[in-house]
Each structure stands twice: as C-alpha cells, then as structure tokens.
Structure 1
C-alpha cells in the first residue's frame, strides 16, 4: 500500500514523503522523499476595490493597451495590483480593445496606448500605486490625438 504523508519539518519547509507500507519479511516500510517546497514569504490576499466602468468611457477610441511590468519588483507592484483588481472591468468596458500584458524580469512599469493611424503614447508607471495607474490610464484614454 502506498500512502503520501505531509510532514512539516520547520516553519519554512514542507516536505511530502511517500511511505510504502510493509517491506520484505515483515520489515518496516521504506520512506522516500519525493518533494520539498520552501516557503520564503507569506502571501497576503489583496483587498483592492475594482474600478467602475465609468472610468473607461473613452476606451473605444484606443486601438490597443499594452502594459509592461516586472513580476517581482516593488516598482511594478502598483501595476500588478491594478491589473488584478480592474482587468475584468477594463475588458467589460470595451471587449474589442486588446489589453496586452507583457511581463519581463527587471522591466520598468509602462503603459502604451495605440490610437488610429499607428500613433502611440507611453506613460511610465514605475513606483505608482493602483490609483496612480488608474489616473494615468484615464489621462491616456481622454487625450486622444486628433
């Protein structure tokens, strides 16, 4: 009989052991370590209120939105929080507008908006919180080039 046993050896380490019951001639079963996972930080749930649909009223004039961010840096944390809390609302406001999310380690947080005739505008989002990212997005959406 094979049985997986979860063993907590310390507060930072969790191991899964596979215990095989019964050996040859009544000997005790063998234990084989099959997985070790280290936990370096505690994850906290995000409590960010999603944006309203009214924030994206001029989004139909934008051809494409492109977010550049780092997955782990503190500077891109506001962009990550904004996308996690407001992506559904953003897509619901204009389902036909592509919203591209480009993640790369060490990348600086930026937002590109592409308008008609290939005109692009860029805003740096590095170090902003979720509300700052929302304000930059509203500025880009409202400043459609003529």
Structure 2
C-alpha cells in the first residue's frame, strides 16, 4: 500500500498551513493544486485542514490517536519535497504507533497456563 493511502491509518488529522503571498509557500500552493485531490480520494475519512495565514511560515502538522503531534516546516520546499516530508511523517507515525505506551497492558507480559 502506498504511503499516501496510509495517511488515514496513521493520523487522526493533518493540518497544512501556508501563506497566500509569500514565496516560501509557493511549493505548498503547487502541492495543494496537484496532490490534494488524490490524497482526499485515498483517505476520504481523514480530516485535512488547509489554512491560509499570511505572515506565518508554512508547515504541516499531524495528530495521531495516541495524542502524539508532529510539526514539520515546509518553507521553501517544492511539491516533491513536501511529498517526501509527508512520507517521512507517515513512516515516523507508524513507528510511533508500534511503540507501546509505558504502563499500558501492551507492555505487560501475559502468560497463559497450558491446557492439557
């Protein structure tokens, strides 16, 4: 499965923030124009919030079900660089969800008696 289709399996939400005028956000604007529709088709239930805020550095923020947040700056990146950033965030998110939380039942070893 492509990393694009795994976005909704890893994240609870994705936020893309950019500026409508600043040159550092031109890659984000191009990425949204070319790739947003495909991402939503592959992840129809995933909330993808796109916010245009002038005077702010462009960034992508993600939230996972365990409360883990990650924010990555995409200032000055081209659309391919933004895709690589999202792909890295998906890989990191998958690793994060595999780690058991301390004190959870997943950390405790459960032993069952043999049935004879």
TM-score, normalisation: structure 2: 0.76
1-structure distance, mates of 2:3, 2:81? 13
Unaligned runs of 5+ in 1: 1-52
1:57 aligned onto 2:12: no
1:106 deviation in Å? 1.2
Question: Which structure has the higher relative contact order (CA within 8 Å, separation 6+)?
Answer: 2
1:134 aligns with 2:83: yes
Q: How does 1:1-146 map to 2 (within 5 A)?
A: 54-59=2-7, 60-144=9-93, 145-146=96-97
Shift >4 Å, 4+ stretches:
none
Q: Where does the alignment leave 5 or more consecutive residues of structure 2 unmatched?
A: 98-116
What is the TM-score normalised by the length of structure 1?
0.61
Kindly indicate which of the two structures has a greater share of residues assigned to helix.
2
Query: Retained in 2: the 8 A contact 1:58–1:142?
Result: no
**Greater share of residues in strand:** 1
